[in-house]
Amino acid sequence: MRLRKKPNLPARTEKCAHLLVAEPETFRGRWHSEFQCDDLHIELGCGKGRFTVETAKAAPESFIVALEKSLSVMIIALERASKEGLTNIRFIDALADNLLEYFAPGEISRIYINFCDPWPANRHAKRRLTHRRFLELYKLVLHPEGEIHFKTDNLPLFDYSLREFSRCGFNIVDVTRDLHKDGTVGVMTDYEMKFHSQGLPIYRARCLANNPLAFPISSNDDPNDE
């Protein structure tokens, strides 16, 4: 499905240019010093940015860099952040494939992966943001005590992702298969609010990079997810 171009996109982007990092590779290894932050978090696929903006507001001591491959989608996130006057947030118009070009080894303390494309066909498994080729990349840029926070509404993707986290040596310390069962927990994305309003369960996992212990997974391995 082709995304409809947003009206006046260049003009709208220009108004938020102070939040958009045009050459992120120039900050590689310098994010902490450049933005005076101890904790650097990134979000992969921020969409319209509700989660990004609300998380930045709730944690002013952290610095959040959000990546999104579509500027037509991300413009809403840029405008939300600009309206709030946030200084602890920046955006990159790019894919997750290029993380190591933008961030030095060990530079990131947390990665958020929220409601990513499940790419359900087995032949597309390598495109999933929780496929091992991405997880090995995340391990390079994550601090030894860093972590990944993963949320999805897609149960097959969730089970698949738990297996991949385990295979790649992440310690899965927190798993829930109905995050908001007893009331809303944490900041929701736009998609999450929609799914929750429809009564759909939200699946969440928190994974640590510093411990190779594997979380016990009962699901069978997928023979075609290589």
Active site residues: 117
The region, left, alpha or beta by phi > 0 then psi within -120 to 50, assigned to residue 213 is beta
